[in-house]
Structure 1
Amino acid sequence: MWGCVRGSDLKRAVCAALFAALAATSSAWAEEPAGDVPQRVVSMNLCTDQLALALADPSQIVSVSHFATDPSMSVHWKQAEDLPVNFGRAEEISILHPDLVLADTWSNPDTIRMLRTLGIRVEQLPPGTSLPEIRGRIETMGKLLGHPGRAAKMLADFDARLAAIQTPAPGLKAAIIGPSGYGYGPRTLEGQILEMAGFQNVVSGPGLDWGGRLPLEDLVMDRPDLVVVGGSQGGTGTSRAQEVLAHPVLRDLPVVRGLRDASWTCGAPAMLNAVGQLATLGRKIEKEKLTQ
């Protein structure tokens, strides 16, 4: 509770949402399930996979995307191993006779159009990056699957975990860069994870809300306290785009490699694993600065 009083605006907003969620969950749990519960659900998107696998009854899901079984991308890969996978094609999905297909806003429009022409219900969920969007996706998924109570509990747990994360004092700067020196701006999921962990994102400013190529010279001039590089394999490889991440100038920066794993992939409760890791790093950096 004391952390809610003394925390940042983001922390106080999370605490307020937590208290509201706790007040609402008892009635929500009593209502489960709601409406017509779909019995044959197909997910054709990695992030709808993750929420569906967490909220649906196992018997409801008849297929998930082929990414769902990849441990580097899916936190529920073990759960997905026993399910048939799809590659987002209308032909393979339609023969499964689904009564609900879960897709993303950016899923293949030809597939969406064909499925709807065949009379198959398709629900497209917008990608979630900000906290309100992430919370909205969870709530919507619970309603679509007929399990609003489970979604309410997931939201309450999410808010409680986020409120409990101890972040460093404001002032630490960080950047997340990928192949070709691409930097992730504040509107991206990566940028939101940085903010939740208590860091100021150096990839910001006009035209960089969603990120963009960040010259390494600019990165050095920004003097970040932390640079998160690449993905789960450390961020270096054989392509020219990956070679940027092995540039000698990065040796003089506080670079961390191999930190980004499946918990960074989607706006879902697992992302709090990434937030917690970054917050812990931030407190360590903060402590080291105090002793210098």
Structure 2
Amino acid sequence: MGRLIALFGLIAFAAAAAEAAAPVPAPAARVASLGLCTDELALLLAEPGQLVSISFLGHERRETPLARKARGLHSNDGKFSSVAHLKPDLVITGGVVNRFARELAERTGTRVIDVPPPMTLDDLRRNIRTVAAALGHPARAEALIGWMDARLGAVPDSPRAALMIVAGGLTPDVHSIAAELLSHAGIRQMVTPSRRVTLEGLIAAPPPLLILSHYRASQFSLPQDWLGTAKRISGRTASVDGRLWSCPGPLAAADVARLRAETRP
């Protein structure tokens, strides 16, 4: 939590300095975010009092490390109808999942920005800038991106092969943003058939490094003895905070830095 407080302070300081030098247009005063991924960006970039509602997932500590910062905010169900009475002057949606909410908000004349889930780190940087600009704080975007990139660092040469497993025995695609994040930790995500891991497959070809994503342990959908066997046959195991990878955002950079330090040869 201390790291998050320091991050908020850095973003606020950079924004205040930049906005004093070059004032920006008046920001939206009543902002509603309708999805977890946009909740996190809004919580990181908005001024206190600027947000009036975030999704119910943004209030859950099991879902996001920013849940404490959401205290006191209205909780919505991802539909525009659940925030219309708050009279937001900006609604932030998150791609296809919020399509109908976006269309309804636009019909009422409410300003909407759509921020699809990022497929790459460049997409993520673009999303950060989009949200910050809509909130009226473009300097905060550059401060947050600078913080993120400093922790990501350069992609190391000669990455180590590893296999990340998320809920249900699934693995991230080798071309996904998760794989790109892993590359900054010096790790190359291994290819798996159908992006699904079986115990038989692990026994036949155990990965040199097994990375488990801890996110909603009750939903991992794999027997504990299965996981125990997987750990024993792998050359080495590591874990990540699944909350930071289910909605890949800037906070995942800190997990990448930790993973890089913990898995050095």
Query: Do Structure 1 and Structure 2 share a fold, with TM-score over 0.5?
Result: yes
Any gaps of 5 or more consecutive residues in structure 2? 1-14
Q: What SS does the aligned partner of 1:183 have?
A: coil
Supply the AA of the counterpart residue of 2:105: L
Q: Residues 122 and 258 from structure 1, CA distance in 2 versus in 1: closer, same or farther, beyond 3 angstroms?
A: same
What RMSD, in angstroms, separates the aligned Cα atoms of the two structures?
2.9
Relative to structure 2, which stretch is displaced further, 260-269 or 59-68? 260-269
How far did residue 195 of structure 1 move? 1.2
Match of 2:6 in 1: none
- The TM-score with structure 1 as length reference comes to 0.75
Q: What SS does the aligned partner of 1:170 have?
A: coil
* Deviation sequence 1:117-159 (CA, Å, 0-9, x none): 2221221112124221111111111111110111112122222
Q: What SS does the aligned partner of 1:268 have?
A: coil
Match of 1:21 in 2: none
Say if 2:202 is the partner of 1:214.
Answer: no
- The TM-score with structure 2 as length reference comes to 0.82
Relative to structure 2, which stretch is displaced further, 72-81 or 103-112? 103-112
Any gaps of 5 or more consecutive residues in structure 1? 1-24, 287-292
How far did residue 256 of structure 1 move? 3.9
Match of 2:181 in 1: 193
Q: Residues 190 and 238 from structure 1, CA distance in 2 versus in 1: closer, same or farther, beyond 3 angstroms?
A: closer
Contact 1:38 1:99 in 2 (8 A): yes
Match of 2:79 in 1: 89
Say if 2:226 is the partner of 1:231.
Answer: no
State how 1:47-86 maps to structure 2 within 5 Å. Answer: 47-86=37-76
Structure 1: which 4+ aligned runs deviate by more than 6 Å?
Answer: none
Supply the AA of the counterpart residue of 2:162: A
Q: What SS does the aligned partner of 1:106 have?
A: helix
Match of 1:157 in 2: 147
Aligned residues: 250
How far did residue 32 of structure 1 move? 5.3
Match of 1:172 in 2: 160
Partners of 1:75 and 1:280 in 2: CA distance: 21
Say if 2:258 is the partner of 1:268.
Answer: no
Match of 1:125 in 2: 115
Partners of 1:155 and 1:95 in 2: CA distance: 34
How far did residue 90 of structure 1 move? 2.3
How far did residue 114 of structure 1 move? 1.6
